[in-house]
Amino acid sequence: MQKAIYYHAGCPVCLEAEDQILAALDSNKYQVEIIDLREEKAEITKAENLGVKSVPALVLNGLPFHINFGAALVDLKNEVTQ
């Protein structure tokens, strides 16, 4: 199984993308992990290290793909530390 990680922050853009994109992934090939960066703040740095710059983002086999444009991680970092 290959690994897909879907990073989001609960925004409407994120949820729409989650519904459509994750349903479209081949579940026989990909094990999908869904991470809400508002709830799992420790994952923000891990996401950044994978090249994630905004959410929603889908990481396929370690390669980040940014979907539409929801929220920049920089803004999210500021929000969670306030």
CA angle in degrees (0–180, nearest 5) for 55-14-64: 40
Contacts of residue 19, defined as CB under 8 A and 6 or more positions apart, other chains included, come to none
> Is 82 one of the binding residues for its own copies (CB under 8 A)?
no
> Is 25 one of the binding residues for its own copies (CB under 8 A)?
yes
Q: Compare residues 21 and 46 and give the one whose CB is closer to its own copies.
A: 21
Q: Compare residues 40 and 62 and give the one whose CB is closer to its own copies.
A: 62
Positions in the binding site for its own copies (CB under 8 A):
2, 4, 16-17, 20-21, 23-30, 60-61, 63, 65-69
